[in-house]
Structure 1
Amino acid sequence: MPKKSKVTITDIARRVNMTTITVSRALTKPELVKKETLDRILEVARELNYVPNAFARNLKGSKSRLIGIITASLDNPFYSEMIKAISRAAKKRNYSIMLFDTDGSPELENKAMETMLSYQVDGIILSVVSDYDEYHPQYLEQLIHANIPVVQVDRRLSGAPFPGVYLDNLASGYKGGRYVLEQGHRHILALAGPEQSNISKQRLEGLKQALAECKEPTRLEVLYGDYTMQPAFENATAYFKQHKQSPDAVFGLNILITLGALKALRKLGNKRHNPAVFSIDEAPYADIFDFNIPCVHHDTYQMGHSAINMLLDRIENPGFEGSDIIIEGDLRASV
C-alpha cells in the first residue's frame, strides 16, 4: 500500500480556491482573516486531516528525525528501562526523542498526540492510558489518516491497526500462581489494576488457571484499584483492618501495587498479618537493601529495544507493516 503524502497548505488552497498566502494567514493569524473565509479554510483543513508543521521553516529535508514517545506514567519503574533502550537506539540511528508523560489522563494524552503531529514526528511509540475495550481516544482517526508509523507498547489500544510489543500477561499470572502454590499457600489475596483492564483480566486468568490445577482447596480474593501505589495501599489497609484471618499470600499484579501492599503491612505493624508477598514485575534495586520479593520479571529493556527497532524499520521501509511481539516473563524466586 503506497504511503499517502502529508497534506499541505497548497492542497487546502486548491480546494478553497484561494491563495496559499490567505490560507497560511488563516492558519497562523486567524484574527487577520474574515470570519467566512476562516470558517471555510478550517472546515477544509479538518476534512483533509491537515496537521500544521511546527518545524517546517527549519527542516532541510523531508524528515524531522524525531521519535515521539507517549507513556501513561513515568512514576512506574516499569517504563524507565524501556525508555532508556528506546533513547539509546534512537541516538545510534541519529534520531531524537520527544517524551510525554500523560499521568493517566486521556486529555493529556490527546494534547500530547496533537503536539507530536504538529511537529511531524517520524514515528510514535505509544503506551495508552487505558487498555479497556471501550477506550477509543478522539485522536485515533486522525493518527490513522496522518500515516505516521506507530508501535504500541504494553497496553493494546482496542481497534487500533498498529503493531505492538506486549507482555504475555496470562503466562505471568500462571507462573506466579504456580510458584505461590508450590510454597504451600492456599488462601491468596490478589491486588489488581482496574477490573475492566485487559492486563488485569489476563493476569488474573493465569492465576486462576494455576489455582484450578491444585488438587487441594484454594481461596482467591481480588481487590481492584489501578496500577499505582496509593489505591493498593488503601485497599490493603482496609482489608487487613477488617479481617482477623490473614491470607497466606498477597499477590500484587504490578510492582507499584505490590509496594502499596507492603506499605500497608508495615504501617499496620501487626504480627497477625504476616502473609508472604509475590509480585508481577520486580522492585528495582531491592537487592541493594537485601530485600527480595519473589516475582515474575519482565525484561522491559528488551521491550523498548524491540519497539524502537520495529518503529525505525517501519519509518525507513514504508512497505514494512511489522507484527506483534510478545515477551514472556521469567520467574525469579530469589531476586
Structure 2
Amino acid sequence: MTITISDIARVAGVSQATISRVLNDSGYVKTETKEKVLKVIKELNYTPNAIARSLSRNKTNTIGVIVPDINNPFFGEVIKGISDVVDEHNMNMILFDTDEKLNKEIKALKLLKEQRIQGLIIVPTSSEDEINSEYLRIIENLGTPIVLVDGHVSYTNFDGVFVDNIKGAFEGTEAFIKAGHKKIAIITGRMNSKPAQDRLAGYEKALNMYDLPLKSKYIFNGDYLMEKAYEITKEILSMDDPATAIFVSSNMMTLGCLKAIFEEKLSIPEDVAIVGFDRVDVLNTLGLNISYINGPTREMGKIGMEMLIDGLENKEKKHLNRITLIPELVLKGSEKYVKKQNK
C-alpha cells in the first residue's frame, strides 16, 4: 500500500498544506502540530517523493555534469574529483556523456533544465565554429551557476578551471629537443577545440625558441581518439624522412600511437621517441615507461565543484572566477634520442 500526503493529513487531522509545510520545512507550523505530523509520518513509514518535493521547492539538491567521453580516463578522474566534493556537501549528481557531439550536449542541457538542477559543471564539446543560437540560448538561460572544466564556450562568460596546455606542450617538446631530437612530429587534438590549439601553440613555441624549423609535414591533426592516432602514427612511421619523436596531444591518442609502433615491431625510444599529454595508468601496469604531461585532472574536478558551490552561495558575485593549473612533466625515458638507430 502506498502512503500519500492525504493519508497523513487524515490521520493527523490537519490539512495537506500543513503536511507539505512540515515536509518542506517551509512556512509556519505550530510546534505541537509539527511534532504530531512527524509522529504520524514515522508510524506510517512514509517516504517523501524526492521529485515531488523538488517541484514544490522549485529547486533540487542536484548538480549536472556533462563530459564528452565517459570512457576516457581523463574525464573519469575529473568526475571523481567532482564526486568527492558532492559527497562532502551531501548533494546529488546527474551525469551526461555527449560522445563529443553537439546535439547530445544540447539535449543534455535541455534535460538538466527540466530536472531543475542547482548548478552545472561542463566539459564542453562545442567549438566556435559549431556554436549556434539554440545552444547559446539554452546554456545562458539555464538559470543556474555554470563552471567550465578544461574547455571554453565562445560568446559566454562562465567560471572555469583549466590546464596550462601551452606550457605542458612546450615542456614536452622541449624534453625532446634537449634529448637531441630535431625532427619532432605532433598529433594534435580536434583543432576546433581550445586545448588542441594551445597544445599546438606550445609545440610551435618550443621549436621557435630552440631555432628549429617548423615543418608542416610533421604536424598531424588528430581527434582525441585512439583509432585516428593509430592511423596517423602508421603514416608518420612510413614517411621518407620520418620524425624521430612524436608528441601526442591526449591520453587516448597515446594508446593508438603505441599500438601502431608495436605493430611495426619498433622499440621506444630506440626507433622512435614518444611523449604524451595526460597520464595513462594502464601503461604503468604493463611496465611501459612512457613520458607524459601530467594534468591535475582530479584536482580540476574538485576545484570546479568548489567553484560551483561558491557560485550557489554567492549568487550576487560580479567577478569571474577562473583558475589555470600548471601541469607536470614526468620523464620516464621514452623521450630519449638513441643516435645509432636514427638517420
The aligned residue for residue 130 of structure 1 is 126
Q: CA offsets per residue over residues 20-42 of structure 1, 9 Å max, x none?
A: xxxxxxxxxxxxxxxxxxxxxxx
Q: Secondary structure at the match of 2:276?
A: strand
The aligned residue for residue 341 of structure 2 is none
Alignment of 1:1-335 (within 5 A): 57-59=52-54, 61-132=57-128, 134-136=130-132, 138-215=134-211, 221-241=218-238, 243-269=239-265, 274-321=271-318, 322-334=320-332
CA separation in 2, counterparts of 1:98 and 1:318?
22
Q: For the Cα contact (< 8 Å) 2:204–2:214, is it kept in 1?
A: no
Q: CA offsets per residue over residues 235-287 of structure 1, 9 Å max, x none?
A: 2223323x244311011011111111111111222579921011111212422
CA separation in 2, counterparts of 1:68 and 1:121?
6
Once the two structures are TM-superposed, the CA of residue 56 in structure 1 deviates from its matched residue by 6.0
Once the two structures are TM-superposed, the CA of residue 190 in structure 1 deviates from its matched residue by 0.5
Percent identical among aligned pairs is: 28
Letter in structure 1 aligned against 2:277: I
Once the two structures are TM-superposed, the CA of residue 328 in structure 1 deviates from its matched residue by 1.1
CA separation in 2, counterparts of 1:311 and 1:270?
47
TM-score, normalising length: structure 2: 0.76
Once the two structures are TM-superposed, the CA of residue 62 in structure 1 deviates from its matched residue by 4.5
Q: Secondary structure at the match of 1:104?
A: coil
CA separation in 1, counterparts of 2:133 and 2:224?
20
Number of corresponding residues? 281
Give the stretch that moved more between structures: 55-64 or 285-294: 55-64
Residues 271 and 285 of structure 1: CA distance in aligned 2, closer, same or farther (over 3 Å): closer
Q: For the Cα contact (< 8 Å) 1:249–1:275, is it kept in 2?
A: yes
Give the stretch that moved more between structures: 171-180 or 230-239: 230-239
User: Which runs of no fewer than 5 residues in structure 1 stay unpaired?
Assistant: 1-53
Q: For the Cα contact (< 8 Å) 1:297–1:329, is it kept in 2?
A: yes
CA separation in 2, counterparts of 1:103 and 1:142?
19
Q: For the Cα contact (< 8 Å) 1:133–1:158, is it kept in 2?
A: no
Q: Secondary structure at the match of 1:67?
A: strand
CA separation in 2, counterparts of 1:136 and 1:270?
46
Q: For the Cα contact (< 8 Å) 2:187–2:229, is it kept in 1?
A: yes
Q: For the Cα contact (< 8 Å) 1:186–1:218, is it kept in 2?
A: no
Q: From the CA coordinates, give the structure whose radius of gyration is larger.
A: 2
User: Which runs of no fewer than 5 residues in structure 2 stay unpaired?
Assistant: 1-48, 334-343
Once the two structures are TM-superposed, the CA of residue 134 in structure 1 deviates from its matched residue by 4.9
Q: For the Cα contact (< 8 Å) 1:313–1:320, is it kept in 2?
A: no
Q: Secondary structure at the match of 1:121?
A: coil
The aligned residue for residue 40 of structure 2 is none
CA separation in 2, counterparts of 1:71 and 1:161?
19
Q: For the Cα contact (< 8 Å) 2:246–2:274, is it kept in 1?
A: yes
CA separation in 2, counterparts of 1:79 and 1:203?
18
CA separation in 1, counterparts of 2:66 and 2:134?
15
Q: Secondary structure at the match of 2:52?
A: coil
Once the two structures are TM-superposed, the CA of residue 137 in structure 1 deviates from its matched residue by 6.3
Q: For the Cα contact (< 8 Å) 1:123–1:311, is it kept in 2?
A: yes
Q: For the Cα contact (< 8 Å) 2:110–2:138, is it kept in 1?
A: no
CA separation in 2, counterparts of 1:225 and 1:137?
28
CA separation in 1, counterparts of 2:236 and 2:206?
24
Give the stretch that moved more between structures: 116-125 or 202-211: 202-211
Q: For the Cα contact (< 8 Å) 1:102–1:109, is it kept in 2?
A: yes
CA separation in 2, counterparts of 1:304 and 1:317?
20
